[in-house]
A = this chain, B = another copy of it.
Amino acid sequence: MKVASNLPGEFELIARYFAPLARGFPGAYGLLDDAAVIAPAPGHELVAKTDAIVGGVHFLLDDPPDLIARKALRVNLSDLAAKGAVPRAYLLDIMLPKTLTESWIAGFARGLAQDQDEYRVHLIGGDTDSTPGPVSIAIAAFGEVPTGRMLRRSRARAGDTVFVTGTIGDSALGIEVLRNALPDVGAVAATFLVERYRLPRPRVALGPRLVGLANAAIDISDGLVADLRHVCEVSELAAVVEASRVPLSAAACGVLAARPGYLAAVLTGGDDYEILFTAPPAAAEDLGRLSRTLDVPITPIGRMKTPSSATEDRVTVLDGNGRAMVLGRGGWAHF
């Protein structure tokens, strides 16, 4: 289709920047055909996921193009990981405003190349289009799971422990740093928090290892409380979380020590791209071993239970004194 006018033609762009990203995946045919071929290994099926990011909405227009590319890919890989899938390939639609330069494209492709190496995934097809709007990127990613074993939101059981990987809330606080809302945060902590927002680290190695251990899983993109609520809703259960057990980075601890009101942002802010999952308490030992093997923190933060009433909020967060917190938009309060 049509491409932005101050750039090389579409075929030239593909040959120069995108075809090299298809090397090593035979079914991509070097992006020289109209479609790619992909088949799961015997006994496996494909997990398919798409997520788009839009300039000015999900990233800043002057963000470095390699970071934009990596974020676009990683938000998809995070979903695959939370579903227990090993990533294999992706399709890329990129919509380019006429103001973009070829060096922007080069940087964008460089970011993809870097992450392809890191996550062992290949570009297998795509479309490059012109847009009068901001640069927009849609990625459809494919992973592989043993047949019938994709980790679901809906399979949590009453009595399961709720676990999260990594630390929670860094990305939400990173946005606050970018907004200059946290002027007293030190430079090292500020950089760490902003980095966590700019470049998610999807749990690609861990996710597939949760198959057989976790009952339900989801990646945390909407926020810890909202994503746990998604699990509760489709599993027809409720959950209780102890706020004091939610794992925090040193930087986030520092912010909360000075400004405890930011706890709500931590618990609801989103963009964590960690995995939240539920597993029977008996899985704790296996999970501890897995955590040490992969060097990924896995922390129990609560438990799944039968809902006590139809009107109850499915997710209850308890403060340090065991009282239910009300998490509103601007902060939180006790009942």
A34 an interface residue at 8 Å Cβ cutoff? yes
Interface with B: A142-150, A168-176, A291-299, A306-314, which one?
A142-150
Interface with B: A119-127, A194-202, A281-289, which one?
A119-127
- Measured between beta carbons, the chain B residues less than 8 angstroms from A36 are 47-49
- On whether A52 and B218 interact (CB within 8 A), knowing A35-B83, A57-B2, A138-B138, the answer reads no
Q: Cβ of A54 and Cβ of B130 under 8 Å apart? A: yes
- Measured between beta carbons, the chain B residues less than 8 angstroms from A317 are none
- On whether A48 and B134 interact (CB within 8 A), knowing A33-B154, A57-B129, the answer reads no
Rounded to whole Å, the gap between the CB of A83 and the closest CB of chain B is 5
- Measured between beta carbons, the chain B residues less than 8 angstroms from A83 are 33-35
- On whether A57 and B130 interact (CB within 8 A), knowing A35-B150, A47-B35, A140-B91, the answer reads yes
Rounded to whole Å, the gap between the CB of A146 and the closest CB of chain B is 11
Q: CA separation between A1 and B130, bound complex, in Å?
A: 23
**Which of these, B2, B57, B91, B127, contacts A132 with CB under 8 Å?**
B57
- Measured between beta carbons, the chain B residues less than 8 angstroms from A160 are none
Q: CA separation between A37 and B47, bound complex, in Å?
A: 5
> In this complex, what residue of B is CB-closest to A80?
B35
Q: Cβ of A95 and Cβ of B54 under 8 Å apart? A: yes
- On whether A138 and B56 interact (CB within 8 A), knowing A1-B51, A46-B46, A133-B132, the answer reads no
Q: Cβ of B142 and Cβ of A48 under 8 Å apart? A: yes
Q: CA separation between A39 and B91, bound complex, in Å?
A: 17
- Measured between beta carbons, the chain B residues less than 8 angstroms from A150 are 33, 35, 37
Q: Cβ of A127 and Cβ of B34 under 8 Å apart? A: no
Q: Cβ of A52 and Cβ of B127 under 8 Å apart? A: yes
A40 an interface residue at 8 Å Cβ cutoff? yes
- Measured between beta carbons, the chain B residues less than 8 angstroms from A57 are 1-2, 129-132
A272 an interface residue at 8 Å Cβ cutoff? no
- Measured between beta carbons, the chain B residues less than 8 angstroms from A52 are 1, 93, 95, 127, 129, 138
8 closest residue pairs by CB, A with B: A133-B133, A39-B45, A138-B138, A140-B140, A93-B138, A35-B49, A52-B93, A50-B91
